[in-house]
Amino acid sequence: MRGTEHVKHYALSILLPMLLMAGVTYGVGQAILLWPTGEASLSRSLAADRTSLWNRITDFGSSLSDTPYIVALTAIAAIVFRLVYKRWLESIFLIVAVWSQSLIFLATTEHVGRHRPPVQHIDPAPPTSSFPSGHVSAAVAFYCGMALVLTTHVRNRALQVLIWALGIIAPLAVGFSRLYRGMHFLTDVLWGVLLGAGCVVMAARAILYSRERRRQRSELVRSA
């Protein structure tokens, strides 16, 4: 792929989808502010039923997607993928998936400006607003991105199922923990899931599968 084709490819397959996701995220956030969802009742219910055991469990669940951990784990995974697979494809995919959701989150959360649930916040509240959940979007991007990479190199069906189960359970644990600890409303968590999943799909199409699509097109041209 020539230089200009590279620029066009990544502009259409990465930058444009990111701009669209950022625009939609901002729009949904503003819509939620205009039409209250009544989610505070769920937050109050969870806060009223807190126990010391679940406080400890959700502390671990929330930490699965703390920013320092996600940054460190992404860097470690990228290095390991490069060493094991002898190429940068998987490493670049994971970095793009994780950092694209982070950029979209940072570009939209302050402008949305949603207050956090009206309950005691067990975790320190960061300066960003409640919508969307950056913890959840990062968890989906990292853990599901890891699952996608690993299962493409594993042929055992049972192991593939196990890997994807872990890749899905981790973001669910993060989402519930953030709800329980009073850091997010339900719609913050749900949109975090969608944002993270969208970035994984975008990065997979742009990086992991683009080479295979180009190869198939070249074969079709040669056979025509």
pLDDT tens digit string along 185-203?
Answer: 999 999 999 999 999 999 9
- Tell me: pLDDT of 3 over 70: no
Count of other CB atoms within 10 angstroms of residue 29 = 23
Mean pLDDT, the chain, whole residue set = 91
Contacts of 8 (CB under 8 A, 6+ apart): none
Q: Where are the domains positioned within the chain?
A: 3-223
Instruction: Give residue-wise pLDDT tens across range 50-62.
Output: 999 999 999 999 9
Quick one: average pLDDT of 199-217? Answer: 78
Q: What is the mean pLDDT of residues 156-161?
A: 96
**DSSP class of residue 39?**
T
pLDDT one-digit tens code per residue, 14-26: 999 999 999 999 9
Distance CA 63, CA 145 (A): 18
pLDDT at 214 over 70: no
Summarised one tens digit per residue, pLDDT across range 125-151 is 777 789 999 999 999 999 999 999 999
78-98 mean pLDDT: 96
**Segment 162-169 mean pLDDT:** 98
User: Phi/psi of residue 140, each to 5°?
Assistant: -65, -45
Examine the pLDDT at 47 and tell me if it is beyond 90. yes
Residue 12: its pLDDT value, please?
A: 81
Please choose, from the candidates 42, 8, 7, the residue with its C-alpha nearest in 3D space to the C-alpha of residue 190.
42
9, pLDDT greater than 90:
no
Which pTM value belongs to this model?
0.90
Q: 206-209 long-range contacts, Cβ below 8 Å, gap at least 24?
A: 206/9, 206/10, 206/13, 206/14, 206/96, 207/89, 207/92, 207/93, 207/96, 208/89, 208/90, 208/93, 208/148, 208/149, 208/152
Banded pLDDT at 221 (limits 50, 70, 90): very low
More confident site: 158 or 212: 158
